[in-house]
């Protein structure tokens, strides 16, 4: 009798353990799948379209089939429990593989056959191919020729070294940090850019960084063009523990921005990030709407700390045209360059800075929550030339 009773707690313990183990397994699976469900498929490969009245954007059909599933979400926001797996330098090195193959590898090849006119011409082609832009390329190559003559650079290593220095100096900028409010009110970052460039995803990643640093975030879904846009932002809000302000599809984006700021103030949040639409039926409507959202916010908050333009690195020079259009409509403070991981045209960073005078402040290096990084010219240039195994 006693022996039987003694056995019961053991049985209970074993069954309990099994339940816990099975439960934990389920949780991990849910978390893993929730991670991807929030990210709609990459549409960056689509072609560009443009007319006098529309912006050069990735395929016009971009958003039409966007169907965002709402994943099960863990109790603790994902952003708060997961640590970034790789250091920033490692991430730059790994994710810049495509540009590196065009730039780093070919440059070594080219000058391996001698430092001569043919090699310089080849370098020009490579730089233009990597989207450094014609003006910047000409300047860089002229400077390189002069220096290699004067400094006697005769090996591929020596030329590569000079090229690195020139790229670094082309990327010099005073300040790439994201500005924050100096008074009591919440910091406001307005995020702009054409459809499909990665605005919503970058906002989600930014919210994760901020929340991890113990800053409270409100996200305002001022892209009211389609309901799915607000839902997508809502998924990021849940994943990061940010508060979401949204309205119905078709609602006035200015009203969403207004309520976003009111909510951020009421909650004494540190930061308000405002998502905006990237596609309306024509360019002037898009720009009018953007201007209005900005004015509404500025009336409440004063000058915004950041008005960032999100550009897709895979669209290359097209991004420069987009940027010019946005710069005419709103005053921009910097660029978030996304999809550098999928681009062989990472040189666009140089063109953006040289031709537009805008600092690249953040770069997107993938689709996951940790794949947004402060742009670091040193790590970037190193990443273009550092060969890593695998
Ligand atoms: N590879 C890669 N994909 C990205 C990056 N940023 C965004 N994306 C993907 O680009 C697509 C469009 O992003 P989304 O945020 O919806 O763009 P939006 O229309 O500007 O808001 C999604 O599939 C994202 O997962 C990035 O840095 N790298
Ligand atoms: Mg969006």
Whole-angstrom distance, CA of residue 246 vs CA of residue 275: 10
Give the distance (Å) from ligand 2 centre to CA of residue 152.
Answer: 51
What angle, 0 to 180 degrees and rounded to 10, lies between the N-to-C axes of helices 227-240 and 199-212? 20
pLDDT at 284 over 90: no
pTM, two decimals, is 0.80
pLDDT at 13 over 70: no
Whole-angstrom distance, CA of residue 290 vs CA of residue 299: 14
What's the average model confidence in pLDDT over 358-364? 94
Lowest model confidence (mean pLDDT) among 65-74, 188-197, 235-244, 345-354: 65-74
- Ligand 1 pocket check for 238: Cβ under 6 Å: no
- Ligand 1 pocket check for 341: Cβ under 6 Å: yes
The predicted structure's pLDDT at residue 53: 55
What's the average model confidence in pLDDT over 325-350? 92
Whole-angstrom distance, CA of residue 336 vs CA of residue 252: 25
Which of 35, 38, 42, 372 for a ligand 1 pocket mutation test, highest count of atoms within 8 Å of Cβ? 42
The predicted structure's pLDDT at residue 385: 81
pLDDT at 259 over 90: yes
pLDDT at 68 over 50: no
Q: Give the residue from 155, 164, 173 showing the smallest Cα distance to 103.
A: 164
**What is the percent of the chain where pLDDT is above 70?**
76
Which of 279, 338, 368 for a ligand 1 pocket mutation test, highest count of atoms within 8 Å of Cβ? 338
The predicted structure's pLDDT at residue 266: 97
83, 212 contact by CB (below 8 A): no
The CB-based long-range contact list for 82-90 (8 Å cut-off, 24+ gap) reads 82/369, 82/370, 84/370, 85/370, 88/373, 88/374, 88/376, 88/379, 89/379, 89/382, 89/383
Which residue, judged by its Cα, is nearest atom 14 of ligand 1? 198
Give the distance (Å) from ligand 1 centre to CA of residue 158.
Answer: 38
Please classify residue 76 by burial: count the beta carbons closer than 10 Å to its beta carbon, then call 0-12 exposed, 13-18 middle and 19+ buried.
exposed
**Using one digit for the tens of pLDDT, what is the confidence trace for 201-237?**
999 999 999 999 999 999 999 999 999 999 999 999 9
Report the DSSP beta bridge partners of residue 268: none
Which of 66, 228, 367 for a ligand 1 pocket mutation test, highest count of atoms within 8 Å of Cβ? 367
The predicted structure's pLDDT at residue 81: 57
The predicted structure's pLDDT at residue 316: 84
Which of 37, 62, 201 for a ligand 1 pocket mutation test, highest count of atoms within 8 Å of Cβ? 201
What's the average model confidence in pLDDT over 333-340? 95
**DSSP category for residue 363:** E
Lowest model confidence (mean pLDDT) among 71-75, 133-137, 178-182, 300-304: 71-75
Q: Which of 31-40, 280-289, 352-361 has the highest mean pLDDT?
A: 352-361
From the CA of 38, which ligand is nearest? 1
What's the average model confidence in pLDDT over 227-255? 97
**Using one digit for the tens of pLDDT, what is the confidence trace for 153-207?**
989 899 999 999 999 999 987 689 999 999 889 999 999 999 999 999 999 999 9
Whole-angstrom distance, CA of residue 351 vs CA of residue 135: 8
Lowest model confidence (mean pLDDT) among 80-84, 198-202, 285-289, 375-379: 80-84
- Ligand 1 pocket check for 370: Cβ under 6 Å: no
What's the average model confidence in pLDDT over 288-295? 95
- Ligand 1 pocket check for 371: Cβ under 6 Å: yes
The predicted structure's pLDDT at residue 54: 61
- Of 48 and 221, the structure prediction assigns the larger pLDDT to 221
Q: Which of 53-57, 116-120, 129-133, 314-318 has the highest mean pLDDT?
A: 116-120
**DSSP category for residue 113:** T
Whole-angstrom distance, CA of residue 382 vs CA of residue 352: 19
Dihedral pair phi/psi, residue 167, rounded to 5°:
-65, -40
- Ligand 1 pocket check for 276: Cβ under 6 Å: no
The CB-based long-range contact list for 116-123 (8 Å cut-off, 24+ gap) reads 119/159, 120/144, 120/145, 123/163
38, 368 contact by CB (below 8 A): no
Element (H, E) at 52: none
How remote is the C-alpha of 253 from its chain's centroid?
22
Q: Given the CA of residue 366, which atom of ligand 1 is nearest to it?
A: 28
Please classify residue 298 by burial: count the beta carbons closer than 10 Å to its beta carbon, then call 0-12 exposed, 13-18 middle and 19+ buried.
middle
Lowest model confidence (mean pLDDT) among 64-68, 307-311, 313-317, 326-330: 64-68
- Ligand 1 pocket check for 91: Cβ under 6 Å: no
Give the distance (Å) from ligand 2 centre to CA of residue 148.
Answer: 46
Residue with tokens 């990643």: 205
Q: Give the residue from 38, 39, 69, 75 showing the smallest Cα distance to 241.
A: 75
Instruction: Report residue 298's pLDDT band, with 50, 70 and 90 as the boundaries.
Output: very high
């Amino acid at each position: 009798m006693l022996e039987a009773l003694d056995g019961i707690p053991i049985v209970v313990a074993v069954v309990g353990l099994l339940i816990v183990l099975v439960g934990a397994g389920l949780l991990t699976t849910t978390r893993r799948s929730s991670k991807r469900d929030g990210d709609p498929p990459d549409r960056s490969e689509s072609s560009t379209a443009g007319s006098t009245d529309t912006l050069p954007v990735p395929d016009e059909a971009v958003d039409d089939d966007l169907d965002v599933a709402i994943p099960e979400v863990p109790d603790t926001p994902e952003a708060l429990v997961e640590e970034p797996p790789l250091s920033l330098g490692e991430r730059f090195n790994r994710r810049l593989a495509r540009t590196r193959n065009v730039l780093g590898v070919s440059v070594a090849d080219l000058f391996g056959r001698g430092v001569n006119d043919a090699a310089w011409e080849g370098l020009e082609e490579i730089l233009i191919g990597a989207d450094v832009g014609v003006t910047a390329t000409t300047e860089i190559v002229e400077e390189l020729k002069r220096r290699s003559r004067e400094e006697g650079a005769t090996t591929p290593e020596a030329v590569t070294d000079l090229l690195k220095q020139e790229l670094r100096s082309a990327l010099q900028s005073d300040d790439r940090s994201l500005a924050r409010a100096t008074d009591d009110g919440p910091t406001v970052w307005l995020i702009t850019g054409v459809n499909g460039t990665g605005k919503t995803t970058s906002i989600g990643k930014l919210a994760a960084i901020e929340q991890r640093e113990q800053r409270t975030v409100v996200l305002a879904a001022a892209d009211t063009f389609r309901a799915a846009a607000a839902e997508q932002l809502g998924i990021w809000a849940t994943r990061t523990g940010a508060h979401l302000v949204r309205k119905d599809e078709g609602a006035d984006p200015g009203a969403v921005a207004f309520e976003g700021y009111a909510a951020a103030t009421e909650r004494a949040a540190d930061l308000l990030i405002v998502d905006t639409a990237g596609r309306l039926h024509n360019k002037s409507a898009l720009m009018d709407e953007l201007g209005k959202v900005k004015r509404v916010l500025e009336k409440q908050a004063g000058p915004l700390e950041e008005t960032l333009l999100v550009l897709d690195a895979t669209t290359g020079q097209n991004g420069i045209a987009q940027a010019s259009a946005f710069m005419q409509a709103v005053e921009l403070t910097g660029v978030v360059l996304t999809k550098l991981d999928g681009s062989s045209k990472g040189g666009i960073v140089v063109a953006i800075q040289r031709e537009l005078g805008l600092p690249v402040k953040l770069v997107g290096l993938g689709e996951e929550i940790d794949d947004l990084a402060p742009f670091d010219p040193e790590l970037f240039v190193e990443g273009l030339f550092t060969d890593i195994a695998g």
